[in-house]
Amino acid sequence: MIVYLDNSATTKVRDEVLKDIIDINENYYGNPSSLHRMGLMAEKKIDEARKSAAKLINAKAQEIYFTGGGTESNNIAIFGHITNSDKHNNIITTKIEHPSVYNVFKQLEDKFSVRYLDTDESGKINTSMLNDMVDENTLLVSIMHVNNEIGIVQDLNEIKDIIKGKNKNTKLHIDAIQSYGKIKIDVNKLSIDTLSFSSHKIHGPKGIGGLFIRSGLRINPLTYGGGQERGMRSGTENTPGIIGFGKACELIYDNFEEETERLYSLKNQYIKRLTEEIEDIKINCPIDGGAPHIINVSFKDVPGEVLLHSLEGKDIYVSTGSACSSKSRDNRVLNAVKLSREYQTGTIRISLGHFNNFEEVEYVIENIKHSVKDIRSITKRG
């Protein structure tokens, strides 16, 4: 049995998506910018995919821009908002952002006053601190909706009210890469200016992402060329990727509530069995609520990387955190939520997706239990 539980890093492409990708490559391979029929047919397919991506967040199709992935979407949004600003401005983010946001803000410290929000021990941002930080010179606030490591969900309504209440001109960017397609988002009910999302987190292909930009908002592109994506992201469109992304969005939209409820139930079953079977563990994700697909658990006296490879030997695939920072020895997110060192080093992330089921749970829990016991017998003896 192969059990893939690293869906926050990437997901397996669904069969229906693969079918559409093959069809596009075989029958709709014209350049969407070409004026002949083959080009126009490809362009029409892209327009259909744009509508599908927009429906998941109740946006207009013309507010969706396709990019090369979530990292590019975040970069376009952040740099696009701040171009032509000066050092009198400040920008705000949190200490638990994904590297595609956090590292951009670190790079901007020479140009702006960069302010970092603390969180509580669950990962919720300090809203009093946010209220104090936003002022007449705040240009941009960038907040991750769902944290990719611990699954905490930020209250976007409260965040929006604080920011716009202090400065209506402050722009709000949301990294929704881990929440898009998993938690209901309605951009019309939120004063979100830009929002990023990604295909390969929702069982679509890699190398394609999306960026919502509210109608009427003008932000500057990072690249210039032939003017594709209405000038926001020049370069020949990745038509197969876009169509595959659109199909993945359709599949999620058609069964959203049912699939979300199934993932919550599966998550709860994993947490229940972990806490019943194994001593000296800490559950770092919200037990009630939180993202439906992310379980973060720490085992005392168990190096997380050793546990990961032990499970890999049994064809169970988990992670020790974000794939984008997996080589780092220091976990910025776990530090921010003040997880003690004795547990922090023994942390793994189990992340669920469409292909996971309840039949896998006992197999996974039994193997984690035996692996933890074997590893502890060595670490405690040493």
CATH number, domain of 266, equals: 3.90.1150.10
Domain final position from 254, 275, 306:
254
The residues, any chain, with a CB within 8 Å of residue 257's CB and separated by 6 or more, are: none
User: For 296-321, what is the mean pLDDT?
Assistant: 95
Task: For the chain, give the mean pLDDT.
Answer: 94
Do 151 and 242 reside in the same domain of the chain?
A: yes
Beta pairing, strands 90-94 & 113-117: parallel
Domain termination residue (choose one: 220, 254, 288)? 254
* Residue 323 confidence (pLDDT): 53
Residue with tokens 């500057």: 220
Residue 89 has pLDDT above 60, yes or no: yes
Across 27-53, average pLDDT: 93
- Do 28 and 59 fall within a single domain? yes
Number of domains in the chain: 2
Q: Are strands 209-213 and 64-67 parallel, antiparallel or unpaired?
A: antiparallel
Instruction: State the angle between helix axes of 70-82 and 99-107 in degrees (0 to 180), rounded to the nearest 10.
Output: 30
Output the pLDDT for position 87. 67
Asked if the model's pLDDT at residue 330 lies above 80, the reply is: no
What pLDDT does residue 226 have? 87
Alpha carbons within 13 A on the beta-carbon side of 316: 21
Q: Domain check: are 242 and 261 in the same one?
A: no
pLDDT band per the 50, 70, 90 thresholds, residue 344: very high
Domain shared by 364 and 221, yes or no: no
Residue 249 sits in the same domain as residue 280: no
Task: Look up the domain containing 327 and give its range.
Answer: 3-11+256-379
Quick one: 265 and 232 in the same domain?
no
Residues 263 and 250 in one domain: no
Predicted confidence at residue 321, as pLDDT, reads: 67
Question: What does pTM read for this prediction?
Answer: 0.94
What 8-state DSSP symbol labels residue 119? B
pLDDT tens by residue, 202-234: 999 999 999 999 999 989 988 889 888 887 898
d(CA 316, CA 336): 29
Which domain CATH number covers 108? 3.40.640.10
Catalytic residues: 324
**Is there a single domain that holds both residue 130 and residue 34?**
yes
Instruction: Name which of 197, 220, 154 is nearest 59 in CA terms.
Output: 197
Is 116 in the same domain as 197? yes
Domain endpoint, select from 208, 234, 254:
254
Q: What is the average per-residue pLDDT within 31-46? A: 91
pLDDT-based confidence at residue 379 (cuts at 50, 70, 90): confident
Asked if 239 and 296 sit in the same domain, the reply is no
Do 246 and 265 have their domain in common? no
- Examine the domain organization and report whether 98 and 170 are in the same domain: yes
